Structure 1
């Protein structure tokens, strides 16, 4: 497959916004705030920031450099690193194949709230049974998943520059504006309870940023570390072939040092702002109990917060869920693009024909996952001791099992077999050098393999026995 067929980003800005769009997704808006609340606020933030600029940089730099240097997608790129490690490309390709079965379902959930708040159903969203009733309704949950997937397919069908890049240039600045506006508004909130207790957004801010060292012990610290590390995978779109695919679309004159730094900062800023706009609001209207809402934070607890705001909530709520829909859309686009690009290279077919063929599989697959809370409901025991449904199973296999395993093997391949210089050389264009070469070398050779091994062993349930 020629590069002309695959497409390229027209500029460094186009690449950064598209890659940031992939990274900024449901993980930032939904997962990051509830993990920060669950894990004691500031301590989680400190650990996460350290991981982003060490592990995150290492994994992100590896993926993007592999893509640009090989000019191949993940399915073929690893063969060029080492012929005997081609299986790693296959494993990497399996991850987006699995993720795509359920990502449109989550996007459909968000789209349902957008529709509700933009019509006269906004008040109903605050009812405790609104979300469970929606996802257990076969027709409604399937329909919204199909609509979200159709929009994703249309953008990928249009191509790299005309579809993905153009969408990202519009959506990402708008998303950032909405996040900042709501975050600033959350800090102005104040509420008085019947007993005279006053809670403010500023107090919620201190809960968010102040490290909670109470009841801290080695086991709890390890859990926070693992939560932060799993969030990094979820957030930066690493070890799933996406950044290898996007890297293969990057021209040689693009400065990878600046691009990777911009992606890191953009993604991290949105995650931090997401926590800033959600946690103070939850604190003001639901107190400390609201901080334990877990995965239901934005679908159950947050609509109740919006309802408590009165008329202003009718403006903030649709803005929030529109922003969340944008974030989910850009990430879903990157997952589907990775799948389409790999099949284009594997089958030597055109983008449009490949899009149609791939979507013919994922429309029914998404419907089946959506119906996992109704017609196909089944309790599935997971290795971490929890009970999940079809969506939870797909997410566990892709994010908790395969991604740490791929990162482990990739770090061994680059750090101990091919050599980190192979990656560093790709940064050396137009007089540039790899800015964090020594950090990268130390992380890829000594630290990343150990931590990824621990993550993988935790995922298979070793630490739960």
Structure 2
């Protein structure tokens, strides 16, 4: 059966950028820069982009294009003992898909609330109390009742992903990203164009960009920069391998990788200007220091920004634009995460695309309903921490060790260079074999040490061991069992 292909180079790049540009670009990058030296953070960030982001993206585009398969079959082609890694990456994507979609559902709800600022004056109490229904005794292991008002936006978010994966690469994913990505960039530029003229906005942007060069020598800042690059580019968990497997035979791999990474990092910069411009205005309007109004993660997107929107001129226009931007960024990423799982299952089981998309999205809707319960946000927080800080980084590290040290890296370099307008050389080899591996070892070992020495978020030992370490162990065991089963099928 002939493999699908992207309809155009633009469609592929927009889809790849759509995967990389997600909710994390809008809320995580600005806060990471602010917390790690402001403008000085961009030095290690750009270094990480050149030594880890672009080389890793070239590697995954090359592997996907060369082997024409999702992660499990590609890694089995490299070394049949490592098919388990491909399935582990597919499971990482599935786990992320199950909870990431819930944040999109929140954004859909807030895009509607923003027309009337339905969150009122106390956006914190509204978000955690009225909207999510978090109770005093809520916990990851005590989920409580379903929040029924979240079921419709959750279904809408899954419906968008289902449409894209059901229709396929050219008719679904490419078509949706050709609409969503330009719209997302236009929305962010419109918001920046309005925000920078607000009083105090330039002070906020200055807070973000003002360099604190004393932090350049802090290893934590370098670790944060590399961590942000790995988190934001969708490498190491089956997505880019899947997308690249649908590239036409004659595709400029090196150029495509450079453009994808640069557009993603450029969007992160735009998002930082937008967010900190709004926070600067908010700080001046409330007569506070910016340090008293800024917060990270969910607190920034669904608590701090609604408070800022209350203060903005024409909040009924600016507010929906903010949350539509969040929604579009989330949907484009969620589609790519679902496609990583779908491609792996189609390659393994031989199912049709419609059947695979239907089964995965149906199971996904049921599982993700766990996250719209009273304790759902706490479960999401705990699972996300272990998936992103340990499973994902561990997956990246093992993949780099496999390709860089157990395979002939020169073969992949030759494959990429044969198709590209410009060639990669010693820089790429050194980055893959030494720089990225070394940095990942430092970050991952520190994360594992921290996870063992202190219970993340103050959760109980039972919750950390079962829903954190236990889930990772189960994923690993399942991946190995599938690998062993594949070997038996080959022998028989």
TM-score by length of 1: 0.88
Root-mean-square deviation (CA, aligned residues, Å) is 2.0
Match of 1:418 in 2: 407
Secondary structure of the 1:389 match is: helix
Structure 1 residues 434-458: Cα deviation after superposition (integer angstroms, max 9, x where no partner): 6332221111111111111112112
Secondary structure in 2 matching 1:252 = coil
Alignment partner for residue 455 of structure 1, among 435, 440, 443? Answer: 443
Structure 2 portions without partners, runs of 5+ = 134-145, 284-288, 454-492
Equivalent residues of 2:223, 2:439 under 8 A apart = no
Q: Is structure 2 residue 277 aligned with structure 1 residue 280?
A: yes
Corresponding residue for residue 179 of structure 2: 170
Corresponding residue of 1:105: 102
Distance in 2 (CA, whole Å) between partners of 1:121 and 1:96 is 34
- Mapped to 2, the partners of 1:318 and 1:442 lie a distance apart of 46
Q: Distance in 1 between matches of 2:241 and 2:170?
A: 17
Residues 267 and 83 from structure 1, CA distance in 2 versus in 1: closer, same or farther, beyond 3 angstroms?
same
2:424 aligns with 436
Q: Is the 8 Å Cα contact of residues 41 and 212 (structure 1) preserved in structure 2?
A: yes
Deviations 1:372-398 (A, max 9, x none): xx1x46xxxxxxxxxx82112221232
Check the 8 A contact 1:104/1:146 in 2, yes or no.
Answer: no
Match of 1:392 in 2: 381
Say which of 350, 367, 380 aligns to 2:352.
350
Instruction: Say which of 120, 124, 129 aligns to 1:124.
Output: 120
Q: Contact (CA 8 Å) 2:18, 2:177: kept in 1 or not?
A: yes
Contact kept in structure 1, 2:254 and 2:417, CA below 8 Å: no
In 2, Cα distance between the equivalents of 1:238 and 1:262?
A: 15
Deviations 1:395-435 (CA, angstroms, capped at 9, x unpaired): 123211112111211221222221321221221335x3663
Gaps of 5+ in 1: 191-199, 378-387
Q: Distance in 2 between matches of 1:128 and 1:205?
A: 24
Please name the residue that 2:300 is paired with.
Answer: 297
Deviation at 1:104, TM superposition (A): 0.6
The aligned counterpart of 2:473 is none
Quote the Cα distance in structure 2 between the aligned partners of 1:123 and 1:321: 13
Please name the residue that 1:185 is paired with: 194
TM-aligned CA deviation for residue 111 of structure 1: 0.8
C-alpha deviation, 1:126, in angstroms: 5.9
CA distance in 1, matches of 2:192, 2:274: 4
Alpha-carbon distance between aligned partners in 2 of 1:320 and 1:290, rounded to the nearest angstrom? 22
Alignment of 1:402 onto 2:411: no
Q: For 1:150, what is the secondary structure of its paired residue?
A: helix
Distance 1:125 1:248, change over 3 A: farther
Identify the match of residue 82 of structure 1 among 79, 82, 89.
Answer: 79
Match in the other structure for 1:328: 330
Is the partner of 1:428 in helix, strand or coil? helix
| Counterparts in 2 of 1:183 and 1:344: CA distance versus 1, 3 Å | same
Relative distance call for 1:389 and 1:3 in structure 2 (3 A) is farther
Whole-Å Cα distance in 1 between the matches of residues 319 and 64 of structure 2?
39
- Where does 1:364-403 land on structure 2 (aligned, <5 Å)? 364-371=366-373, 374=374, 376=375, 389-403=378-392
Q: 2:63 aligns with which of 60, 66, 72?
A: 66
Which is further off, 108-117 or 125-134? 125-134
Partner of 2:207: 207
Q: 1:329 deviation in Å?
A: 0.4
Q: Which residue of 2 aligns with 1:246?
A: 243
Work out the CA distance in 2 between the residues paired with 1:394 and 1:75.
23
Q: Which moved more, 1:201-210 or 1:258-267?
A: 201-210
Distance 1:426 1:433 in 2: 12
Q: 1:43 to 1:222 in 2, by over 3 A?
A: same
Report the Cα distance in structure 2 between the residues aligned to 1:391 and 1:9, rounded to whole angstroms: 34
CA–CA distance in 1 between the matches of 2:195 and 2:122? 18
| Structure 1 residue matching 2:281: 3-state secondary structure | helix
Cα distance in 1 for residues equivalent to 2:343 and 2:50: 29
1:265-322: per-residue Cα shift (whole Å, max 9, x none)? 1101111000000112202212323454122112111111111123x23221111111
Does residue 233 of structure 1 match 2:221? Answer: no
| Structure 1 residue ranges (4+ consecutive) displaced by more than 6 angstroms after TM superposition | none
Shift of 1:180: 1.5
Q: Distance in 2 between matches of 1:134 and 1:48?
A: 36
Q: Which secondary structure does the structure 1 equivalent of 2:120 belong to?
A: helix
Shift of 1:175: 0.8
| Contact preservation (8 Å) 1:427, 1:433 | no
| Contact 2:204–2:290 under 8 Å retained in 1 | no
Query: Structure 2: how far apart are the matches of 1:463 and 1:365?
Result: 25
Contact 2:96/2:384, CA 8 A, preserved across alignment = yes
User: Counterpart in 2 of 1:14?
Assistant: 11
Contact in 2 for aligned 1:78/1:86 (Cα 8 Å)? yes
- Does the 8 Å CA contact 1:252/1:429 hold for their aligned counterparts? no
1:154 shift after superposition: 1.8
Whole-Å separation in 2 of the counterparts to 1:186 and 1:228: 27
Contact 1:157 1:163 in 2 (8 A): yes
- Report if aligned partners of 2:312, 2:318 keep a CA contact under 8 Å in 1: no
